[in-house]
Homo-oligomer: A and B are copies of this chain.
Amino acid sequence: MTAPEAAPPSERTRIRRLAQRGHYDRATLHAVIDAAYVCHVAFTDDHAVHCIPTACWRDGDHLYIHGSNGSRMLKLAASRAQVCVTITHLDGLVLARSAFNHSMNYRSAVIYGEFDVVADALKSAALDTLMEHIAPGRSREARPGDANELAATTILRIPLDEAACKISTGGPEDDEADLNLPVWAGVLPLVLQPQMPVVVAAPRGTPDYVERWQNATVHRTAVDALTSTTS
């Protein structure tokens, strides 16, 4: 991802530490969200500040979350409480010659604002979008929610208007004076990697999305082998 042209949409989204890592354009934000299954939602109630992980997905310029009507977080978020939603992908550990210059590679997004409640008539379509995010094609296979299930589910969405991404990539940045120290330097990359599917029932064989998941494990192995021989 290249350096953004966009400016921070508000004071609280302006990245101050390592400002050169800040990105405020919509394409970068969408990419960070779309790569995620989970976000962290921070909010306060009368007692404390809370930070709760929950499934998330994007449709257009909104991030969505959902859950049981009984969820404290959803009840509070539905009441227009101010929230901060954060997504973080850890991409690697960056090992410099000096302890001080160690760092991590990551892609993160922070979204400020308030959630809106998704109207009953739009719930079913919103949940289909979640299903397609998790397993493309599956929304036509799984039994859709019935009236009771939909009624028991709260869906919330927050606009992506006040958001910022922070991204760090690349290798270690050592001080000039440290470059000749006899210390290993490099990156230990990490990826949230699909593992072989655990099959409980496959009455009509293996759906495309399961096959693609399976192939992603094989593909990654091939990439590893390639990297291994060239490093």
Contact = CB atoms under 8 A, between A and B. Distances in A.
Interface of A: 11-12, 16-17, 37-38, 40-44, 47-53, 55, 67-68, 70-72, 82-86, 88, 90, 92-93, 95-100, 102, 104, 106, 108, 110, 112, 127, 131, 134-135, 138-139, 141-146, 149, 153, 171-172, 178, 181-204, 206-207, 210, 213-214, 217-218, 220-221, 223-224, 227-228, 231
A112 B48 contact: yes
A90 B36 CA distance: 10
B104 A37 contact: yes
A115 to B, nearest CB: 13
A85 to B, nearest CB: 7
Contacts of A106: 38, 53
A99 B144 contact: yes
Contact of A40 (B86, B135, B193, B223): B86
A193 B192 contact: yes
Contacts of A198: 92, 171, 186-187, 189, 227, 231
29 contacts: A12-B48, A17-B72, A38-B104, A40-B42, A40-B51, A44-B49, A49-B84, A51-B84, A92-B195, A92-B198, A95-B135, A96-B142, A97-B143, A98-B144, A98-B149, A99-B127, A99-B143, A99-B145, A99-B149, A100-B146, A100-B153, A138-B184, A182-B204, A184-B202, A184-B204, A185-B202, A187-B197, A190-B193, A196-B231
